[in-house]
Structure formats: structure tokens, C-alpha cells
Amino acid sequence: MEHVVKWKAIRDQAIVVTGTTVYIPQIIYQPYTEADRVRYIEKADLKEPIIFRTAHPDQWGIALEDALRAKMKDLLDKDDNMFENCGPSVSIRLQWPGYRAWTKQIPTMDFKSPKGPITRAKLAKNIANCVKRFIEEKEKERMEMEADRRWRVGTRHIRMEDLILVSLHHISKGSWQPQLRLRTPLSEIQLRRLQAQASHSIA
């Protein structure tokens, strides 16, 4: 399917200057039944991926920490309108390895005066808030039995500050999924966990 090809292609196309080239290995969300897959994917008018490009340096991706704080002077085309003719809200979906699928709705409109579609900058901030909420919720949960512990989220593990938002993909009617890469190397995140365990055992 074309949207799957575009999802996979991002990793080859993306220009990376800061952070790592390691992406969170999400599977692409799809509805459970064959009928729903036809209705919500094959017959849906899936839009092109939204890319978050920045200047200084020129690369693909904005740190979620910057997006959350609205530090987006380097985000290109930040005032472009997003989600025109997409209904009042869309679902942001995360298929994070080791955890149950997670979804949250975000508005497609900005209710400031005059009311209009949200901008690329506002969208980046909304996605950052979604990821922050996901990490806060999942930190309290156990990972699935067979899960790769490297992808664990939480204060001592992968934090929102460790992530860069590269793109957002229309993966079924009304649903979009962000492509995230690591800003912090996995080895550093692992070290953080070991240091936390060591200080905990000393205490």
C-alpha cells in the first residue's frame, strides 16, 4: 500500500544533522477487520505525509521538547495550514514497541480569532503533548512480556526530551501516526537506567 511505502521511505529520505538516525520501530496502525481496512484505508483519500523540516541546521525533524515549548523559529513553513477539510478532529496514534496501541484525538481547528485550521507549528506542539501524555501514562504500566526493554519509556528510560518528530502520516481515515527518531543515543539512555538502578541499590 502506498501509505506504507511512504512511511518506510522517510527513513531513507530524511536529512539528519542532529540527534540519531535511530527511529522508534512502530508498526503502522491498521483497523482490525478486512471490511474496515477497505473502508478506512483503501477507499479513503489518504493525504501526503506532513514533514517537519527545520533550518539552522537544515534537517528533517524538530525536537519534541522545542515543539512543546513553542520554540519553533527554525521550523520551516510553520504558519502553513494543516488538516484542511479533515473534519473537527483527528486521531493521533502511537504503536510503540512493547506497549498496547495508544490514541488521542486532537482538534484540527485553532479557535483563536479568526478561527481557522491549525498551523504546522501548532500541530507539532499538539503531537509533542500527545507523546508526553503517552509516556506519562505508560511509565506506570509494565511492558509486554516479550518486549525489547530498550524501548521502555519513563523518567529513567526514554523521555519526551529524547525524541525528534520527523513526520506525520495519514494511515487511515481520520487517523495519523507520527514518525519519531531518537535525539539521544540508546547507549546514553541505557546508561541513565543503569545509573538510576545503582543509586537506588545504594540507597
pLDDT tens for the chain, residues 1 to 203:
899 999 999 999 999 999 999 999 999 998 877 887 778 778 888 899 999 999 988 999 999 999 999 999 999 999 999 998 788 999 999 999 999 999 999 999 987 767 889 999 999 999 999 999 999 999 999 999 999 999 999 999 999 999 999 999 999 999 999 999 999 999 999 998 888 777 766 65
User: How far is the C-alpha of 60 from the C-alpha of 119, rounded, in Å?
Assistant: 17
User: How far is the C-alpha of 106 from the C-alpha of 5, rounded, in Å?
Assistant: 25
Global pTM reads 0.93
Q: How far is CA 77 from CA 57, 90, 186, in A?
A: 15, 21, 31
| Burial letters 14-45, b for 16+ CB under 10 A, else e | bebeebbebebebebbbbeeeeeeeebbeebe
94: its cell numbers:
502511537
pLDDT given for residue 113 in this prediction: 66
